[in-house]
Amino acid sequence: MAAVKIASRPDAGLCPVPIVLVDDHPISRAGVRVLLEETEFAVVGEAESGREVLDVVRRTRPRIVLLDIRMAGGDGLDALVALKRRFPSIAVLMLTGYDEPDFLARAVAGGAAGYLLKGVRREGLLAALRAVAHGDILIQPEAPCRSPDPATKQPASTEPFEPLTPREEQVLRLLATGRSNREIAEILFVADSTVKTHVQNITAKLGVSDRVQAAVWAVRRGLCPRMG
């Protein structure tokens, strides 16, 4: 069994923001620790796999979890769903080397507060951590989006330019769970090209640029329930 590292709690008087790192590469975790030195963030625990993270989070109670996606000891997107089910108030920021729209859509549907690539600079990482610590949803470091206020239950985006058809809404719900066009086609018993046409129509009607932004729109409007 891989070792799990639990750091000592920093001086409570300094009020740092506690963070847990989850990555199966020790060098990657060490690099993040160095980047966070002398900042308002403190690494209070580390895990090498998605299977370990729940126990580490239970013991350390961080405010933010930095979570990789592909790990030898368990998928990070599955760990995300388990984390948000068990600890819904903790912000999970995906930090990954995979620039994949489907992964991003699954992360948003699973409740991630943000999605960053590992090539992000120190300033971008710190900006992302500060954003999610304040309740923002961060899809890109340059464009944080304020989460809707659960008390008001107002949608975070406007109505579609044109109403979606029932079939388009069905496709959008599936798209927002991170499924590919082929997977959607298999579920709906239609051709891949038909799904592609539906996705094009959906993005046009919503006024968004791609399927990822359509998935974000759907999650915020409650068309797709959070995974788990």
Determine the pLDDT at residue 162: 83
Q: Which of 22-36, 104-118, 142-156, 174-188 has the highest mean pLDDT?
A: 22-36
Is 161 or 43 the better-scoring residue by pLDDT?
Answer: 43
Q: How far apart are CA 187 and CA 192, in angstroms?
A: 11
Is the confidence at residue 228, as pLDDT, over 70?
no
Is the confidence at residue 179, as pLDDT, over 70?
yes
Is the confidence at residue 61, as pLDDT, over 90?
yes
pLDDT in tens, 64-93: 999 999 888 778 999 998 999 999 999 999
Is the confidence at residue 146, as pLDDT, over 90?
no
CATH code at 5-146: 3.40.50.2300
> What burial letters (b/e) apply to 169-180, b meaning 16+ CB within 10 Å?
bbbbbbbbbbbb
* Positions of CATH 3.40.50.2300 in the chain: 5-146
Answer whether CATH 1.10.10.10 is correct for domain 166-221. yes
Determine the pLDDT at residue 157: 45
Cα–Cα separations (whole angstroms), residue 126 to 138, 168, 206, 220: 12, 38, 31, 25
Is 176 or 53 the better-scoring residue by pLDDT?
Answer: 53
**For residues 83 and 90, is the Cβ–Cβ distance under 8 A?**
yes
Cα–Cα separations (whole angstroms), residue 150 to 197, 200, 217, 222: 34, 31, 16, 12
pLDDT in tens, 96-145: 888 877 788 788 878 888 889 988 889 999 999 998 888 877 765 443 34
Q: Which pTM was predicted?
A: 0.66
**For residues 43 and 36, is the Cβ–Cβ distance under 8 A?**
yes
**For residues 63 and 9, is the Cβ–Cβ distance under 8 A?**
no
Determine the pLDDT at residue 5: 53
* Positions of CATH 1.10.10.10 in the chain: 166-221
